Structure 1
Amino acid sequence: MAETIDKNRMAQDLAKAHRMIEPNITRVIQIITSRESETDEPVKLLEVNPDTFPSGILPIAFGASPPRIPFPSVIVEVTEEEFGKIRDGNLSLPEGWLLGDTLYSAAD
């Protein structure tokens, strides 16, 4: 269970760092799977960025960088329109991936 807590904290820290680099990000949502408790399962973030180009679901993987970033990570950056399609079920995340907690929303 401790691994899940650490991974969730890492997701929050990565979301904050990415917003600092790209301040126009309007939403960051953690992507979850049934394997979240496993240490080799990466932290996965869906970032909604109106400044990106529509490219569908294109996960970009990053390796861990201990001790600061102890987990590998995957970022999926989408436009507002693509995010709407994901919510409506017209654009799918990879099999087994689900939208989890919203870590940041510009509307909040």
Structure 2
Amino acid sequence: MQTLRDKPTAIFCYNDLIALDVLKVLRKLNYKVPEDISIVGYDNSHLAEATEINLTTVEHPKKELGEKAAHLLLDVIEGKSEFNGDPYTFKPKLIMRNSTAKPAKPEE
């Protein structure tokens, strides 16, 4: 197996399910989470707290996203506006759990 010279200190995953798979693989390779490497998921699914190592994750505002999409769709259907593709910004929230360690102090 090939190894990296500069090993990563953290892995940010596409979603919580992938992060839990990464956690399983790292444990099989004898890595300690979060001591050796931190893992962060995305979506704050119910799976994030389903293992002994609870997953740090990013939660996106599902309700707000759904409401905005519904309002845009209704406005288009009712002829009040046309969807012009303008971007909308939503603020995610970091949910800290025990799959991440505090950052190491930089070497001097």
Q: Same fold (TM over 0.5)?
A: no
The answer to which structure has the higher strand fraction is 1
| Higher RCO, 1 vs 2 (CA within 8 Å, ≥6 residues apart) | 1
Q: TM-score, normalised by structure 1?
A: 0.24
Q: TM-score, normalised by structure 2?
A: 0.24
Structure 1 or 2, whichever has the larger Rg, is 2
